[in-house]
Amino acid sequence: MPRRSLLRLALSALSLLVASDTSAQGTGAAASPLAAGAIRLTYLGNAGWEITDGKRVVLVDPFLTQFRRWRPGGTEVAPAGLYVPDSAFIDSKIARADYIVITHGHSDHALDAGYIARRTGAVVVGHETAANLARAYAVPDSQLITVIGGEDYDFGDFSLRVVPNIHSALDDKRYYNNGRGIAGTAPRGLRAPLKRNDYQEGGNLAYILRMAGHEVLIMGSMNYIEREMEGLRPDIALIGSNSQRLEIFDYTKRLMRALGNPAVVLPSHHDAYGDPKPSAAALADRRRFQEEVAAASPSTRFIAPTWFEPIVIPTRAGVSDRVAVSVPGIAPLVPAYTEAIRAGGQVFVSGMTGIKPGTQEIIDGGVGPQTRQTLENIRTLLHASGATMAQLSECTVFLTDMKDYAEMNRAYIEFFPSAPPARATLAVTALPRPAARVEIKCSAVVAR
Ligand SMILES: [Zn+2]
Query: Could you tell me which of 445, 447, 393, 387 has the C-alpha nearest to residue 416?
Result: 393
Separation of alpha carbons 266 and 243, rounded Å: 15
Q: Give the sign of the dihedral formed by CA 351, CA 354, CA 357, CA 360.
A: negative
The alpha carbon of 109 and the centre of ligand 1 are apart by a number of angstroms equal to 7
The alpha carbon of 121 and the centre of ligand 1 are apart by a number of angstroms equal to 25
318 confidence band (pLDDT: 50, 70, 90): low
Distances in whole angstroms, Cα of residue 85 to Cα of each of 105, 109, 110 = 14, 12, 10
Choices 3.30.1330.40, 3.55.10.10, 3.40.50.2300, 3.40.50.720: CATH for 323-445: 3.30.1330.40
Q: What is the pLDDT of residue 1?
A: 42
- CB contact set of 113 (below 8 Å; sequence gap of 6+): 59, 61, 62, 100, 102, 124, 126, 130, 133, 134
- Which is more confidently placed, 27 or 229? 229
The alpha carbon of 143 and the centre of ligand 1 are apart by a number of angstroms equal to 23
Distances in whole angstroms, Cα of residue 309 to Cα of each of 42, 66, 108, 358, 401 = 6, 17, 20, 44, 61
The alpha carbon of 169 and the centre of ligand 1 are apart by a number of angstroms equal to 10
Q: What is the mean pLDDT of residues 23-45?
A: 71
The alpha carbon of 290 and the centre of ligand 1 are apart by a number of angstroms equal to 22
The alpha carbon of 312 and the centre of ligand 1 are apart by a number of angstroms equal to 28
Q: What is the pLDDT of residue 345?
A: 79
The neighbouring-strand residues paired with 444 are: 347, 392
Domain 13-317 in CATH 3.60.15.10: yes
> Position 178: which residue type?
N
Q: What is the mean pLDDT of residues 167-194?
A: 96
Q: What is the mean pLDDT of residues 32-41?
A: 88
Q: Is the pLDDT reported for residue 5 higher than 70?
A: no
Q: Is the pLDDT reported for residue 28 higher than 50?
A: no
- Give DSSP secondary structure letters for 326-344: -BTTB--SSTTS-SEEEET
The alpha carbon of 61 and the centre of ligand 1 are apart by a number of angstroms equal to 11
Separation of alpha carbons 256 and 250, rounded Å: 10
Every domain of the chain and the residues it spans: 13-317, 323-445
Contact 130, 65 (CB under 8 A): no
The alpha carbon of 43 and the centre of ligand 1 are apart by a number of angstroms equal to 18
pLDDT per position as a tens digit, 66-106: 999 999 999 999 999 999 999 999 999 999 999 999 999 99
The alpha carbon of 367 and the centre of ligand 1 are apart by a number of angstroms equal to 59
pLDDT per position as a tens digit, 388-421: 899 999 999 999 999 999 999 999 999 998 999 9
pLDDT per position as a tens digit, 349-399: 999 999 999 999 999 999 999 999 999 999 999 988 888 899 999 999 999
Lowest mean pLDDT among 2-11, 18-27, 86-95, 248-257: 18-27
The alpha carbon of 201 and the centre of ligand 1 are apart by a number of angstroms equal to 6
Q: Is the pLDDT reported for residue 9 higher than 80?
A: no
The alpha carbon of 42 and the centre of ligand 1 are apart by a number of angstroms equal to 21
Distances in whole angstroms, Cα of residue 72 to Cα of each of 67, 69, 75 = 11, 8, 9
- Phi and psi (nearest 5°) for 392? -65, 130
The neighbouring-strand residues paired with 417 are: none
Q: Is the pLDDT reported for residue 7 higher than 60?
A: no
Query: Could you tell me which of 254, 251, 159, 168 has the C-alpha nearest to residue 208?
Result: 159
- Phi and psi (nearest 5°) for 158? -150, 170
Q: What is the pLDDT of residue 10?
A: 41
The alpha carbon of 168 and the centre of ligand 1 are apart by a number of angstroms equal to 7
pTM metric for this prediction: 0.69
The alpha carbon of 164 and the centre of ligand 1 are apart by a number of angstroms equal to 15
The alpha carbon of 352 and the centre of ligand 1 are apart by a number of angstroms equal to 50
Q: What is the pLDDT of residue 183?
A: 97
